[in-house]
Every structure is written in structure tokens, then in C-alpha cells.
A and B are shown apart, each in its own frame.
Chain A
């Protein structure tokens, strides 16, 4: 009982449209990530699903039931907030038990459930403390515990890891992934961290300005970004985007810079934006397009090396190459690019060709 359907959901704050006619179906048991930059409407979307914000227009369905006007406490969703939102006047034990108490769960059952959750999250020794006596990571675990103790069918999480340091974030990330596997509930997870989105999601909805830009699996979004915004938002280092046009011979051209494209990729003369992921370069081999460039900066990272290069007259590119490559600054190198891995976008609409 947990397919969430948003039918043209809109949220307006006065004149500001925070979410614009959102159509989104989140399948039962799915891990859906809403990804986007600050202010794109992720939290607003989540709050509308939770019932914490009124929906200005459109319909929200849980399975086949219209819940557009249902108050949050009737919706059977659990939520984890970016701010944790623990009840400061209650102990950890009372915080976790609170949702069960409100449901008049028998006391023995509450005790058992709280103990079980505390064990899962390794917070058993903290049960009698108050939130003010916990570290950020511990608070986050308690917030998670309060959400999972009810065993709801829908979990909503609003940037639950953004207040944690990098190491803690990684371990919490895998904790959440395990939780999803074990609980088999529907997860809607908001983040602006693309790595979090890629690792956790079954599907990602990339949002911008209140609109969903693309909805697909992480692999799909990475391999076939729907527009330049999505292409640039995912991947680190960022994808190289070069504006230019299609030469008469069907290759991409910008000044002296040329790169062969798959045959028939676009009409000659058309203005396009070329996308090249930094890692999609390798040693020259038959069937690969040749890319010549002068090395400007070498950044060895240990596991790999990032090169900043200039190709043609003014085309700056970032390339990710194996650490064994011993490139020198100032040297001119030639690498191979698989034309099939290049991305082409319309120069005016920014949409994928």
C-alpha cells in the first residue's frame, strides 16, 4: 500500500511558484531521490507528500486513495528532518516511543520496539539522555529511530545527512541503504548531493525551478542526461560543455577545434552544445576520435589524475586519466574519444539531441 502518485501538483507562495505542475509516480518499495540545487522545490514537494504544506493545485494519491486534503497524522508516513527535530523535553527513549504512544500501542510492545530499533541503530546506551546531550550523528540516528519504529510504508527524508561530517555521512548513507533493503518501504529522499543520490537511488528526479528536469535511474541519468543542466549537475568533475556547431563533414566544430561525431548525429550547420564527460577519454585506438590538446595543469589525486587542457583555440577541458599517465604541463597530448559516448544538446533549448 504505498505507491505515491503526484498529479500535476503545484505549490504557490503568493506569487512564487515553488513547485510547478509536478507529475511523479513513486512505486511501491522504491527509493526515489529528489535531487536539485537549493530552492528548486524539493522540500516543498516532500512537505506536500507529508501533508505539511497545503497543495495549491493538483491531486496526490497514495495507491488509489486521494489524500490531497488529508492531515499529516492520518497519512501514515514517517519523516526525517534536516534539523533532526527531536523533542528536547523528552529523552531518547521517549522520543522514539512517542509515535507508538500516540497510537496507543501496548506498553510491552513499545518497550520491545524501542529496544529493537535502538539495537539496529546502535544507540542503546543513549536511551536515557536528552537530545541536548547528543552529538550530531547520534541525534540523526535517534531521528531515524523515531521514524522507523512505526514501520510505516512511506519514508520521507529531507537532507538527513547534510549536517554530518564526511565520514559519518558515508556510514549513515550505507545505514540508510540497509534500512531500505530490510524495510522494503517506499523512500522519498531529498538531497542536493549528487553522490548521495547516485548511490542511494533506484530512480532520481532531478529538479530545477519547481520542475522535474529528468526522471530516470542513476545510470540512465548519468549516461543520457536530458539537458545541459542535468548533465552538469551530475558527475564530478563536471562534464565539459562546449558550444559550437556541426561542420559540413558532420563533426563538431568550434574554431580550430574539431571532434568526430557518430554519423548522422545532427544536421550540418546546426548550433549545438557538446558534452564530454572527463572520464570518457582513453588511449588512442582505431574507431576512436582523436582529440589533441595542450596540458595546462596536472592534478594528481593518487588514484587518478585530473588534467586541465586547452584544445583548439580556446576550448578548456577537464580530463580524468589513469594515474600511470605521466603528462607534463605544456606538453601536447592526443587522446581517444568514443564518439558514441559524446552528448549533444541543442544550443538554444539545451535539450538533448
Chain B
């Protein structure tokens, strides 16, 4: 290090800085624009040159979202909408908050049930030596080989015949079918990485399978559990196609469906849509911030000498 000339080192640092900045811009740029434009009026967004930052903070879009339920929007009255939205309030605006609630409900149920189902299945396959455990694993994974789009029509028919169309339960069950096989697979590889002797010690010390799971496997796979939780919630939060087919109105429609409806309305209010977008990314961001400290490695340090 000491003998190296300064210039190449400086060049290296500069290069790193430039590419880091480019990367940050690429990842965070759209999000920044989303937030910035949600605080501007429609006129300000469409101005040339564009306003990168809001000329003044304008919460009109958010106000419109939060109070949408109190306004009647019809073909005649839509032009008297909030001036902040350029005079156009999408007819589905009132559905936004209920759909946010639907998305949250479905997401939390999927995250919780996904973990519950996957943990027990993964433990059985990874730890208990039963006949046909490999076959079980491959069967579970095979369900994910069929593309979702091919499943839509049969799934629709099944759900309709069960009388579950336009219910949150139908969405929860459908999303679980997507997330559970992946989660089982992730947890199996994590469980298999936990030293087998720890399982043996637990059994000897007096644990049955449930206690071995609770006292050894769960505490030591916290990062994988948190990752699974996040994965399931985000999958459910972002899902579009199944929700489009399986729901019909505000009773069960989720956020992506309602927001996409704004774009296909008579006219599109970009500032309003972007404000809705900001609301849509808040829960995942909060989740990521809360959970990132659990994603750590080295939990099994000191368990065994290998």
C-alpha cells in the first residue's frame, strides 16, 4: 500500500464514486421522482423544463386520496375536482383507501400463514428421515413449474365454484400457493445448514420435534424467517394478474388493481397516481427498515467444532 503512487488510487476511488452514484441514481431515481411529483400539481409536473423538486409543497393529492370517500364523482362533477389534480379526480379514487386496507390484510395473512405452513413442512423434510422425503420436496417444487398464466382460468373456475370470487380469502389461498413452495425450499436449505448435532443434542436433552423446532431451528434461522416473511408479503402486495381475475369490486380489490384503474380512466392525473404510488410503497419500506437488522449471519458460531 505505502509504496503505491497516489494517482491510480485516486482514480480508483473516483471511478468507484462515479459508478456508485450512477447505480444509486438508477435505483433511487424513479422513487425520488415519484415522491417529488406526488407533492406537485398536475400543471407543475407537466411543465417544461420539469420541476425536479416541488416548487412548493402541495399536499392536495394526498388530501384528495384521504377525503375521496366524501366526494361524489360522476361524469358531471368530475371537472369540479380538486384543482391540485388538474381538475380530474379518477372515479375510483374513493376505492384507494379500502383497497390499501385489503392489500394489507391479504399481505399480512399471506406472510403469517406462509411462514406457519412452510416452517412445519420444511422441518419435516429437512430434519425427519421419512420414506419419500425427496419425492415430497420435488412434488412441492413441481407445482411451481407451471406458469401462473396457465393456471388462471382453472383457478378462476375453482374459486368461482367454491363461491369465493371477490373475497380476500380467495386471494390469500392463491398467493400461498405461490409463496409456500419457494419458502419451503429456502427454509429447507437453511435448516440443513444447521449442524445436525444440535438437533441430536436437543432430542437427547428432552425435545420432541416441536420443541426442537422451537428451541433450535427457529432461533437459529431468524434471518431466513424474516426473509420469508418479507418475500411473502411483497409477493402478495405486488401481485396483479390473479387479483384482477379473482376480484370484482372494492370488497376485495387490492391496491395494484385500483391504482391501475386510475391510469385507464377518462383522463389520467399523473400527480394523483403518483401520490397513490407513494402510499403503495410505504408499507414495504417500513417493513424493510424494521427487518433489515435481523438479516445477519453467523448465528451458529460456536455451536460445533468442525
* A interface with B by C-beta (< 8 Å): 47, 50-52, 54, 71-73, 77-79, 81-89, 98-99, 102-103, 130-134, 136, 139, 146, 163
Write the B270-306 contact mask toward A (1 if CB under 8 angstroms, else 0). 0000000000000000000000000000011111111
CB pair B302–A88 under 8 Å, yes or no, is yes
Residue of B nearest to A162 (CB): B305
Please indicate the chain A residues that have their CB under 8 angstroms from the CB of B198 in the complex.
85, 87
- Residue pairs across A and B with Cβ atoms less than 8 A apart, 9 shown, are A83-B197, A83-B305, A84-B304, A85-B195, A87-B198, A87-B215, A131-B302, A132-B301, A136-B305
Binds A, one of B10-18, B57-65, B172-180, B201-209: B201-209
* Closest chain B CB from A65 CB (angstroms): 18
Asked whether B69 is an interface residue with its Cβ less than 8 Å from the other chain, the reply is no
Residue of B nearest to A50 (CB): B204
In the bound complex, CA of A199 to CA of B65 (Å): 82
Please indicate the chain A residues that have their CB under 8 angstroms from the CB of B304 in the complex.
81, 83-86
Please indicate the chain A residues that have their CB under 8 angstroms from the CB of B87 in the complex.
none
Contact residues, B218-242 vs A (CB, 8 A): 219-220
In the bound complex, CA of A87 to CA of B300 (Å): 8
Residue of B nearest to A134 (CB): B302
Using A50-B200, A84-B197 as known contacts, list a sample of 13 further A-B pairs with CB atoms less than 8 Å apart, ordered by residue number in A: A81-B197, A85-B195, A85-B198, A85-B200, A85-B303, A87-B201, A87-B202, A89-B220, A98-B215, A102-B206, A102-B207, A130-B302, A132-B302
* Closest chain A CB from B194 CB (angstroms): 10
**Taking each of A82, A89, A133, which has the highest tally of chain B beta carbons within 10 Å of its own beta carbon?**
A89
CB pair B302–A139 under 8 Å, yes or no, is yes
In the bound complex, CA of A130 to CA of B302 (Å): 8
Asked whether B244 is an interface residue with its Cβ less than 8 Å from the other chain, the reply is no
* Closest chain B CB from A35 CB (angstroms): 22
- Candidates A54, A82, A89, A130; contact of B219 at CB < 8 Å: A89
* Closest chain A CB from B192 CB (angstroms): 16
- Candidates A85, A130, A132; contact of B201 at CB < 8 Å: A85
Asked whether B113 is an interface residue with its Cβ less than 8 Å from the other chain, the reply is no
* Closest chain A CB from B185 CB (angstroms): 24
**Taking each of A47, A54, A99, which has the highest tally of chain B beta carbons within 10 Å of its own beta carbon?**
A99
Residue of A nearest to B218 (CB): A89
CB pair A51–B303 under 8 Å, yes or no, is no
In the bound complex, CA of A72 to CA of B195 (Å): 18
Residue of B nearest to A130 (CB): B302
CB pair B203–A81 under 8 Å, yes or no, is no
In the bound complex, CA of A169 to CA of B124 (Å): 38
Q: A136-B305, A163-B305 are in contact. Are A83 and B205 (CB under 8 A)?
A: no
Please indicate the chain B residues that have their CB under 8 angstroms from the CB of A136 in the complex.
305
CB pair A133–B203 under 8 Å, yes or no, is no
CB pair B220–A88 under 8 Å, yes or no, is yes
CB pair A88–B197 under 8 Å, yes or no, is no
CB pair B299–A73 under 8 Å, yes or no, is no
In the bound complex, CA of A54 to CA of B203 (Å): 14
In the bound complex, CA of A73 to CA of B211 (Å): 11
- Candidates B200, B203, B211, B301; contact of A88 at CB < 8 Å: B301
* Closest chain B CB from A109 CB (angstroms): 16
In the bound complex, CA of A78 to CA of B129 (Å): 22
Asked whether B186 is an interface residue with its Cβ less than 8 Å from the other chain, the reply is no
CB pair A139–B207 under 8 Å, yes or no, is no
Asked whether B216 is an interface residue with its Cβ less than 8 Å from the other chain, the reply is yes
Please indicate the chain B residues that have their CB under 8 angstroms from the CB of A132 in the complex.
301-302
Please indicate the chain A residues that have their CB under 8 angstroms from the CB of B203 in the complex.
51-52, 71-73
Q: A85-B197, A85-B200, A85-B201 are in contact. Are A73 and B206 (CB under 8 A)?
A: yes
In the bound complex, CA of A255 to CA of B40 (Å): 108
CB pair A98–B306 under 8 Å, yes or no, is no
Please indicate the chain A residues that have their CB under 8 angstroms from the CB of B216 in the complex.
87
Write the B45-82 contact mask toward A (1 if CB under 8 angstroms, else 0). 00000000000000000000000000000000000000
Residue of A nearest to B303 (CB): A88
Residue of B nearest to A133 (CB): B302
* Closest chain B CB from A100 CB (angstroms): 9
Please indicate the chain B residues that have their CB under 8 angstroms from the CB of A72 in the complex.
200, 203-204
